[in-house]
Amino acid sequence: MMEKTGSKRGVFSGHLGYILATAGSAVGLGNIWRFPYLAAKYGGGIFLLTYLVLALFFGYTLMVSETAIGRMTGKSPVGAFRALSMARRTADLTAKGSAKATAKATAKATAKGSKNGWQAGGWINAIIPMLILPYYSVIGGWVAKYLFEYILGHVSEAAEDGYFTSFISSPLGAWGWFMIFALMTVLVIALGVENGVERVSRIMMPGLVVLAVVMAVYSMTRPGAAAGIRYFLVPDLSHFSWMTVVAALGQMFYSLSIAMGILITYGSYMKKDVNIENSVHHVIFFDSGIAILSGLMIIPAVFAFSGGKPDALAQGPSLMFVTMPKIFESMSGGRFVGILFFVLVLFAALTSAISLAETCASTFEDELKWSRKKATTVVALIVAVLGSLSSLGFGPLFGVTPLGMSILDFFDFLTNSLMMPVAAFVICIFAVYVVGVRKISEEVHLSSRFRFEGMYRICLKYIAPFFVMVILLSSIANVLGIITI
């Protein structure tokens, strides 16, 4: 997938290489676990519609910008922000013209702060994965635990009401499984075998798609499931609330791995002749496809097995772990299907976790000049501390509820609803005022036409930054209790 070239930086082998890597990072627990529970909670069809519109306009705009910035500079986020802001400053200072113009440019550059000002923009992108990885590993641990239970053949136990809750609230159980998952991730990185894992997951991924199709068909044909299909696919305005938009935007960032530096890094590995626009579209279609498939697997089953009552739909993070076991219990051979399902999900989770950990470690290596070993150790420590908090938040730390949420939900909210909108806003402003839309468009034109350039410009300059800010402010106001959305 990645070839080492003469220069130090690896490059993707082409269009397919880029898409596979980006889709590999995009498809993970976000699609299978997070998307269905949000869709169930925030309005079904209307959530799906909102999500797709956001992905096609905002997701597309941000992905093209990040990828182009990465490819232009050949650097990961902090370095890319630094290089481009310095280039801009030099251009300002040497701009031909009167002394007055030069003085003005200097003042402008000074007003922008030292080079560290924009570097901070790179850092906020780089910090987000460090906050996501710990709680991602907690969910990865849940997946590993369920896999283990199906291997032992505990099919009906896993489907019992209350099973999931008692598992996550048992102090040692859930924490132990979190540590197992986190150790697997760190081990893969420490041993440098992530390429091996990625190669295996390239076989697993199609397997997951096939199994998800089978499961979705099974789930959709259960008695009572039709209402669920309707709920998920047919937009109903009466289910719409402002939270639908807030949740859909957060999910879009999360699922497409936007606003966290990943795409800048991947763009830096991309060859100059790969069509940026097409690649971005392919990733969006693929990622959304898997999310929809997971929705069709889980939401009709909620209606078939739990009647689709509001509290069944609003379960949140536990939805997949409560619903899927009920499906497996109802089918013959449920034990083996369960094993297969959780193995495949575990792989999707593991590859995403590895890629998250890689990004964190390489930021430390590149920017703080740490050794690989030190970087990996620090990442492992961050994961151990923050992940333990998230995991124990359902047990011994039950009473600790920052902003009224469980600790895991708090980290999820902090990254997806607060930090990512800020990071996305910074990227828009950076792309427009520092890099310049013209330079981005030149970068896209290096390999192809830029079919949606008009839409891209309008979205980047006007709609995206404004909208992202409105969302951010409204979710802050909501949390502070100033408004209720």
Residues that bind ligand TRP (CB under 6 A): 25-26, 28-31, 129, 132, 254-255, 257, 260, 262, 352, 355-356
In the bound complex, which residue of the shown chain has the CB atom lying closest to ligand TRP? Answer: 30
431 Cβ contact partners less than 8 Å away, ≥ 6 residues apart: 65, 69, 437, 440, 460
Q: Which tokens sit at 387?
A: 């992940």
Which one-letter amino acid corresponds to residue 282?
A: H
Question: What is the enclosing helix (H) or strand (E) of 245?
Answer: helix 242-255
Q: How far is the CB of 134 from ligand TRP (least distance, A)?
A: 13
Q: Bridge partners of 3?
A: 11
Which one-letter amino acid corresponds to residue 176?
A: G
Comparison of 229 and 420: residue with beta carbon closer to ligand TRP: 420
Q: How far is the CB of 76 from ligand TRP (least distance, A)?
A: 13
Comparison of 30 and 334: residue with beta carbon closer to ligand TRP: 30
Q: How far is the CB of 31 from ligand TRP (least distance, A)?
A: 5
Comparison of 258 and 434: residue with beta carbon closer to ligand TRP: 258
Q: How far is the CB of 236 from ligand TRP (least distance, A)?
A: 26
Distance CA(246)–CA(407), nearest Å, equals 20
Comparison of 229 and 343: residue with beta carbon closer to ligand TRP: 343
Q: Which phi-psi region, left, alpha or beta, contains residue 2 (left: φ > 0; alpha: ψ -120 to 50)? A: beta
Residues listed for the chain: 485
Q: How far is the CB of 64 from ligand TRP (least distance, A)?
A: 17
Task: Say if CB 86 and CB 96 are below 8 A apart.
Answer: no
Comparison of 276 and 348: residue with beta carbon closer to ligand TRP: 348
Comparison of 283 and 327: residue with beta carbon closer to ligand TRP: 283
Q: Which tokens sit at 444?
A: 């896209």
Distance CA(459)–CA(57), nearest Å, equals 7
Q: Which phi-psi region, left, alpha or beta, contains residue 76 (left: φ > 0; alpha: ψ -120 to 50)? A: beta
Question: What is the enclosing helix (H) or strand (E) of 3?
Answer: strand 2-4
Comparison of 216 and 258: residue with beta carbon closer to ligand TRP: 258
Q: How far is the CB of 194 from ligand TRP (least distance, A)?
A: 12
Q: For residue 68, how many C-alpha atoms fall within 13 Å in the half-sphere facing its CB?
A: 31
Q: How far is the CB of 167 from ligand TRP (least distance, A)?
A: 22
